[in-house]
């Protein structure tokens, strides 16, 4: 956990703040991205606003992307708030982000194991034994579910586009035949 105003947890981010490496701060408007940047820099590089009194939520302050160089040599891009962030990966990318779960999945009794309630599931056995962190498992399940949803939506969008394309072709063919230009002439 990081709390920029209280300067807690900043050291946990040192692994990413190295010379020549660029880090991007993404999140909702008012989430504290600029406040975090200022805490990491140890200076007021970006303008920030106080949280609202009525609901204790942050205010939208940053209006453009900007690259900052920290004293460590790390580069940090502060961004305006995002309304929606979407995963841009497939199942293979999710699996490779969780190598311990990928390795356990190879040991499951069934190849198509969903790691939820199947008998002989090595992932569930590791969870039960405490050798797999529940937070990692939850994160993996959440990302796997999101990639499956995105894939299904993309497939549905592609099918709909193909259906519209063929409908247009059929309408053009009918129009061509109606005009009389599509008839054989002797």
pLDDT 10s digits, 68-113: 999 889 999 988 876 665 666 666 777 788 899 999 999 999 998 9
Going by C-alpha positions, the residue among 135, 144, 137 that lies closest to residue 122 is: 137
Give the start-to-end residue ranges of the domains of the chain: 10-78, 91-178
Contact 133, 141 (CB under 8 A): no
Q: Give the 3-state secondary structure percentages of the chain, helix then strand then coil, rounded to 5.
A: 45, 10, 50
- Per-residue pLDDT reduced to its tens digit, 50-65: 765 665 555 556 667 8
- Strands ordered across the beta sheet of 22-25: 22-25, 75-78, 66-69
Q: What is the pTM assigned to this prediction? A: 0.45
Is the dihedral angle over the CA atoms 4, 10, 15, 18 positive or is it negative?
positive
CATH classification of 91-178, choosing from 3.40.50.2300, 2.60.120.10, 1.10.10.10, 1.10.40.50?
A: 1.10.40.50
| pLDDT band at residue 180 using 50, 70 and 90 as cut-offs | confident
**What's the rounded Cα separation, in Å, for the pair 183 and 186?**
10
């Amino acid at each position: 956990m990081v709390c920029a105003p209280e300067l807690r947890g900043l050291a946990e981010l040192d692994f990413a703040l190295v010379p020549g490496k660029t880090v991007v701060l993404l999140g909702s408007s008012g989430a504290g991205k600029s406040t975090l940047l200022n805490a990491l820099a140890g200076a007021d590089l970006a303008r920030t606003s106080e949280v609202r009194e009525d609901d204790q939520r942050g205010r939208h302050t940053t209006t453009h992307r900007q690259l900052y160089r920290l004293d460590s040599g790390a580069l940090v891009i502060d961004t305006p708030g995002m309304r929606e962030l979407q995963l841009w990966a497939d199942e293979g990318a999710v699996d490779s982000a969780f190598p311990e779960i990928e390795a356990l999945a190879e040991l499951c009794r069934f190849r198509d194991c969903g790691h939820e309630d199947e008998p002989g599931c090595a992932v569930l056995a590791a969870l039960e034994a405490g050798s797999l962190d529940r937070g990692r498992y939850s994160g993996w399940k959440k990302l796997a579910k999101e990639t499956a949803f995105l894939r299904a939506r993309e497939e549905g969008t592609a099918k709909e586009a193909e259906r519209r394309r063929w409908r247009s072709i059929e309408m053009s063919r009918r129009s061509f035949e109606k005009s009389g230009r599509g008839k054989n002439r002797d």
